[in-house]
Amino acid sequence: MNAAPATTLSAVWPAGTQRTPEGALRIAGHDLRDVAAQYGTPAYLMDEADIRARARAFKQAFSEAFGAIGTQADVFYAGKAFLCTPMARLLLEEGLSLDVCTGGELAVARKAGFPGAKIGLHGNNKSVPEIEDAITYGVGRLIVDSFEEIERVASIASAHGVVQGVMLRVKTGVEAHTHEFIATAHEDQKFGFSLADGQLMDAVGRVLKHPEALRLLGFHSHIGSQIFDSEGFAVAAERLIHVQLQVAQEHGIVLPELDLGGGFGIAYTDDDTPLTPQQLAEQLAGIVQRACDAVGHPVPHISIEPGRAIVGPAGVTLYEVGTVKPVHATDELTRYYVSVDGGMSDNPRPALYQADYTAQLADRTSDAAPVTARVVGKHCESGDIVVRDVQLPGDIQAGDLLAVPATGAYCRSLSSQYNHVPRPPVIALRDGGSRVWIRRETIDDLLALEVEEAEGEE
C-alpha cells in the first residue's frame, strides 16, 4: 500500500512546510522530531531559504517597480526584527542594506563585515558613543530625530573631519491602522519632527547651517508596523514630497533621497492576507510617481525598511508540552490550557500587543476531536499567553511537540530572561543541513553577570 503523500501547510508557515506521511511537521527537509532531539526545546527555527527568498523578492520587486518610474529603490532590512552575525552576512549576500538603531545592532553589523556605506542608523536618543561609532565606521546615513541631535551629530562629524549624510525623521501625522503601540507617525508619540507645527522646516534650516559637517539627504518616514494596506503610505509620501518641494523653493536644494520606512504586515494566522512584495512595490511606486507628478518634483531615490516581512514568516518556535489543564471557563466552554516549556520570555508579543498566533502539533497527527485550547508559558503571569485561541486535538498531552509559526520577527529580539528562564537557541534550517546561529543560553550565562562580594568586603 502506498503511504499518504506529504501535505503542504498554509502561508502562515515557512514556504514548503509539510506534514509528512508519518504525521510530523517538516521544515526545509527537517523532521521537527529530529530537530527537537538534536537541539532540545524550546527553540527558534529559521528557514534560511525562506528568508533569502523574501529578501530577494523585496529587492527585485522594488528595483523593477521603481526602475519603471525612472529611479532606484534600496531595501534596508530593519535589524530590530531579528539580528545576529550570520543573519547580517546573509543579507549582505542577498544585496540588501541594513537599518540599525543602537550601538549594539551596529556592533553586529561590524562583526559581520557589513559595509558602513550600506548602513543607516536610527534612534530617537542615540548616545554620543553610538554617534561616534557610526561616523567613524562610515555609516552612510544617520536618521536624525531631534534638535539636540542635529547639533550633536554636527559637532562629532566636524571633530572627525567628516561630512555626514543625514536624513530627518518626519512625523507625518498619519494614523496607521495598527495597534497603538506600533503606530509611529501620529502627533502624540515620540518619533520625528512634526510637519504640522513647522518643526521639520526648522530642522532643515538647522541642518543646512552645518555644511562642513552635515549633508541633508532627504526625509524619512515610518508610519508604523504590521500594516496591510498602502493608504497610510500614500498620505505620508504626498506630505513628504510636498515638503521636499518646499525645501527646493526655500533653499534651492533638491533632496535626492526619500525613505518610506517599513511596517509591511505578515500573516500570523490564516485570517491575515498580506500584500506580496510585488503588489507593495507597484502600489508604492504609483504613489510616489503621482505625488511627484502632482507638484512637478523629480522622483527621488527611494528606500524602504522591511523587517518583519523578511524574517517573520521564516521563523517557527518549537516547544514541548508539559501539562494540559481543562478549565471550565463558562457553562458552555471548557478551555484546555496547554503549558509549554517557554512563553512570554521568548515571545512577549501577545502580552504587549494582544498579538494572535496559531499552533499545530509537530510530532504527530491525531483523529481526536479538536478542543478549544490556549497555549500558555511557564512564567508567573496569567498574561503569559503564546496562542490565545486555537483548536488542538483533544488528546494533546505532555511530551507532544507544538510548533508556533510566524515567530521569526520580534520574538528573539524582544525576548527576556524573565523568571531566570534562559533564552532558546536560534537554529537555521536549510535543505541538507542545520546550524546554530545563536546557542541556547544557560543558567551559568545568567549567573555570570552577578558580581559576588569579595571575602572580607562589607
Ligand X SMILES: Cc1ncc(COP(=O)(O)O)c(C=O)c1O
Residue 191 Cβ vs ligand X, minimum distance, rounded to whole Å: 7
Q: Show the DSSP H helices in 68-198 as ranges.
A: 85-93, 103-111, 128-137, 147-159
- Output the known binding site for substrate: 308, 349, 353, 381, 410
At residue 298, the 3 state secondary structure works out as coil
* Nearest Cα residue to 82 out of 416, 310, 263: 310
**Distance between CA atoms of 448 and 450, rounded to whole angstroms?**
5
Closest to ligand X by CB, 307 vs 425, is 307
Residue 270, Cα to own-chain centre: how many angstroms?
20
Per-residue x/- mask for ligand LYS, residues 22 to 51, rule CB under 6 A?
A: ------------------------------
**What is the biggest distance separating any 2 CA atoms in the chain, rounded to whole angstroms?**
80
Active site residue 380: yes
∠ Cα 52 176 287 (to 5°): 70
Closest to ligand LYS by CB, 337 vs 353, is 353
Is 193 a residue that touches ligand X (CB under 6 A)?
no
Is 182 a residue that touches ligand LYS (CB under 6 A)?
yes
Choose, by CB under 6 A, the member of 262, 277, 350, 405 that binds ligand X. Answer: 262
Q: Which residues of 316-345 are buried (b: 16+ CB within 10 A; e: fewer)?
A: bbbbbbeebeeeeeeeeeebbebbbbbbbb
Is 305 a residue that touches ligand X (CB under 6 A)?
yes
**Residue 77 interacting partner from ligand X, ligand LYS, none (CB closer than 5 to 8 Å by kind):** none
* Nearest Cα residue to 43 out of 270, 325, 340: 340
Residue 405 Cβ vs ligand LYS, minimum distance, rounded to whole Å: 15
Is 349 a residue that touches ligand LYS (CB under 6 A)?
yes
Closest to ligand X by CB, 60 vs 413, is 413
At residue 144, the 3 state secondary structure works out as strand
**Distance between CA atoms of 384 and 323, rounded to whole angstroms?**
15
Total residue count of the chain as it appears in this document = 458
- Output the known binding site for pyridoxal 5'-phosphate: 263, 305-308, 410
Is 226 a residue that touches ligand LYS (CB under 6 A)?
yes
Nine-digit cell string for 374 = 490556549
Residue 434 Cβ vs ligand LYS, minimum distance, rounded to whole Å: 26
Choose, by CB under 6 A, the member of 264, 268, 336, 357 that binds ligand X. Answer: 264
Choose, by CB under 6 A, the member of 232, 306, 315, 343 that binds ligand X. Answer: 306
Is 263 a residue that touches ligand X (CB under 6 A)?
yes
**Distance between CA atoms of 79 and 159, rounded to whole angstroms?**
29
**Distance between CA atoms of 44 and 12, rounded to whole angstroms?**
16
* Nearest Cα residue to 338 out of 370, 312, 367: 370
**Residue 349 interacting partner from ligand X, ligand LYS, none (CB closer than 5 to 8 Å by kind):** ligand LYS
Strand partners, 407: none
**Distance between CA atoms of 425 and 65, rounded to whole angstroms?**
38
Choose, by CB under 6 A, the member of 33, 410, 425, 434 that binds ligand LYS. Answer: 410
Choose, by CB under 6 A, the member of 225, 317, 360, 415 that binds ligand X. Answer: 225
Residue 135 Cβ vs ligand X, minimum distance, rounded to whole Å: 19
At residue 302, the 3 state secondary structure works out as strand
Residue 290, Cα to own-chain centre: how many angstroms?
29
Q: Show the DSSP H helices in 312-380 as ranges.
A: 349-353
Choose, by CB under 6 A, the member of 19, 26, 33, 80 that binds ligand LYS. Answer: 80
Closest to ligand LYS by CB, 14 vs 306, is 306
Residue 456 Cβ vs ligand LYS, minimum distance, rounded to whole Å: 46
| Catalytically annotated residue among 84, 101, 380, 411 | 380
**Distance between CA atoms of 153 and 266, rounded to whole angstroms?**
35
Closest to ligand LYS by CB, 230 vs 415, is 415
**Residue 319 interacting partner from ligand LYS, ligand X, none (CB closer than 5 to 8 Å by kind):** none
Active centre residues (catalytic):
380
User: Which residues contribute to the site for ligand X (CB under 6 A)?
Assistant: 78, 80-81, 99, 122, 184, 222, 225, 261-264, 305-309, 409
**Site residues for ligand LYS per CB under 6 A:** 80, 182, 184, 225-226, 349, 353, 410, 414
